[in-house]
């Protein structure tokens, strides 16, 4: 039972990491958004003229960062809870900024917002568990 939060948190992080890494790379390879069927018109209210910079941020923060956090969780590193909490909050902030810059209402935004909240809450439990 004590391992359940560790496996659940690590699994969530791997899921987020894989999706973010793939989408980040696709945005970097095609900054016009064509690989993800995103219109550059989405960026009208943002400081960006294409998806290149958002793609890099997505890849680094939510792709690589979440993967590192998952590795720490599965290795039961004492810093896993803290790092996971930071990247869970990072995911929440990513969705918040995205909604404010390009608009909201997409179902995936709700899903990833909930995943960010779940990661952040689980990070607290994992931190307490690994502190023992």
Write out pLDDT tens, residues 51-97: 999 999 999 999 999 999 999 999 999 999 999 999 999 999 999 99
Contacts of 43 (CB under 8 A, 6+ apart): 49, 50, 51, 101, 102
Q: Three-state DSSP class for 103?
A: coil
Q: What is the pTM of this model?
A: 0.91
Question: Around 71, how many Cα atoms within 13 Å sit in the side-chain half-sphere?
Answer: 7
Contacts of 54 (CB under 8 A, 6+ apart): 27, 48
- pLDDT for position 76: 95
Number of structural domains the chain divides into: 1
d(CA 76, CA 19): 23
| The two three-digit tokens of residue 53, written as one number | 């910079």
Reported as a pLDDT band with limits 50, 70 and 90, residue 104 is confident
- pLDDT for position 103: 84
- pLDDT for position 124: 96
- pLDDT for position 1: 58
Contacts of 83 (CB under 8 A, 6+ apart): 68, 69, 72
- Residues of the domain holding 47: 4-131
Reported as a pLDDT band with limits 50, 70 and 90, residue 23 is very high
């Amino acid at each position: 039972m004590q391992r359940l939060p560790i496996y659940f948190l690590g699994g969530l992080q791997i899921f987020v990491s894989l999706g973010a890494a793939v989408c980040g790379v696709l945005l970097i390879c095609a900054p016009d958004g064509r690989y993800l069927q995103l219109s550059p018109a989405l960026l009208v209210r943002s400081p960006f003229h294409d998806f290149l910079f958002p793609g890099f941020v997505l890849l680094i923060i939510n792709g690589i960062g979440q993967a590192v956090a998952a590795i720490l969780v599965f290795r039961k590193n004492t810093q896993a809870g803290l790092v996971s909490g930071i990247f869970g909050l990072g995911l929440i902030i990513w969705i918040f900024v995205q909604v404010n810059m390009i608009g909201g209402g997409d179902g995936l935004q709700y899903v990833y917002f909930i995943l960010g909240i779940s990661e952040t809450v689980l990070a607290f439990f994992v931190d307490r568990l690994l502190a023992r």
